[in-house]
Amino acid sequence: MDPALLREREAFKKRAMATPTVEKKSRPEATVKDVPKPKVRPPSAAPKLDASNYKTMAGSSQYRFGVLAKIVKHMRNRHLEGEDHMLTLDDILDETNQLDVGSSVKNWLQTEALQENPKIDVSLDKLRFAFKPVFKLKDGKSLIKLLKQYDLKGLGGIMLEEIQESLPHCEKVLKNYAKFILYITRPTDKKKIVFYNDKSADITVDEEFKKLWRSIPVDSMEDAKIAEYLEKQGIRSMQDHGPKKPLVPKRKKAQSKKRQFKKPRDNEHLADVLVTYEDNTITQEGAKIKQS
């Protein structure tokens, strides 16, 4: 081997050893298993309803009708205590401790709920409200007057619960006017009906007649059989004389009328000249013309 090449080789090794070098270590490729998975956050839970926020929610229909029911109940109690003057919506909310209602609920009460409620009476300006009872009763005299009118017109009695809802201090009034009132319990639903006790219609009945009347069992008999038995005995039974429906008159079919010949009304000065051609008059007139 050429000695010159050997010297160059040795010189290259010396230079290579003299220059410092930095080795880069090869990193192993990351596998799919070693890659950390991103943490999945759980869906955020719905915010809890606060009592103050719940009252101001405009979309809660249950809350709205709860406010309305509380108002109607308060207005009814006011009426039964004798307070019949009208109140504004703000006064009503103040008395019912509901000043924290939202503006949307107030608007709904003012424009819709209270005005359309059958238990609430509205002023002409639609800004004040009061309770609207079934009957306008103030005291015992107005109650007795109403019962008398029902008795005279044959309208029957009035439900006790309707009187209790309309008459202030009802229990006290009914107790004071007990001698003018009759109570009858309806067998279907056990509700009490109030009638006027007309003393002029009282009749004294002999005790023997009462015993005979009570000795005859008619509970298991129908009304038709009782009426048939009375007719056989020569006694006419009571008939229903209540208002009957008017009979609608039947429409008569339009009959085809034959046309009648009407004599001329005008030209009376030509009555001798005009000729009416009926039946055989045509042939007779034609014969006269031929003869002439």
Cα 274 → chain centroid: 78
The burial of 60, by beta-carbon neighbours within 10 Å (0-12 exposed, 13-18 middle, 19 or more buried), is given as middle
| pLDDT at 55 (0 to 100) | 46
Q: How far is CA 128 from CA 63, 120, 131, 177, 278, in A?
A: 22, 10, 11, 34, 86
Q: How many domains does the chain have?
A: 2
pLDDT tens for 135-167 read 888 888 999 899 988 888 888 888 899 988 888
The distance in angstroms from the start CA to the end CA of the chain is 182
Number of H helices, E strands in the chain: 12, 6
CB 225 within 8 A of CB 237: no
Nearest CA among 218, 176, 178 for reference residue 194: 178
Query: What residues contact residue 113 under an 8 Å CB cut-off, 6+ apart?
Result: 64, 68
| pLDDT at 54 (0 to 100) | 44
Same-domain check for residues 126 and 158: no
Q: Which of 74-78, 81-85, 111-115, 244-248 has the lowest mean pLDDT?
A: 244-248
Range of the domain at 173: 140-201
Higher-pLDDT residue of 28, 184: 184
Q: Identify whether 110 is part of a domain.
A: yes
3-state secondary structure (DSSP) of residue 102: coil
pLDDT tens for 256-286 read 556 666 665 666 666 666 666 555 555 555 5
Give the span between the Cα atoms of 114 and 72, in whole angstroms: 9
CATH number at residue 108: 1.10.10.10
The β-bridge relationship of strands 120-122 and 128-131 is antiparallel
Q: Region 98-112: what's the mean pLDDT? A: 88
Radius of gyration (Cα) for the chain, nearest Å? 53
Q: Identify whether 174 is part of a domain.
A: yes
Q: Identify whether 259 is part of a domain.
A: no
Task: State which of 201, 221, 251 marks the end of a domain.
Answer: 201
Task: State which of 181, 201, 221 marks the end of a domain.
Answer: 201
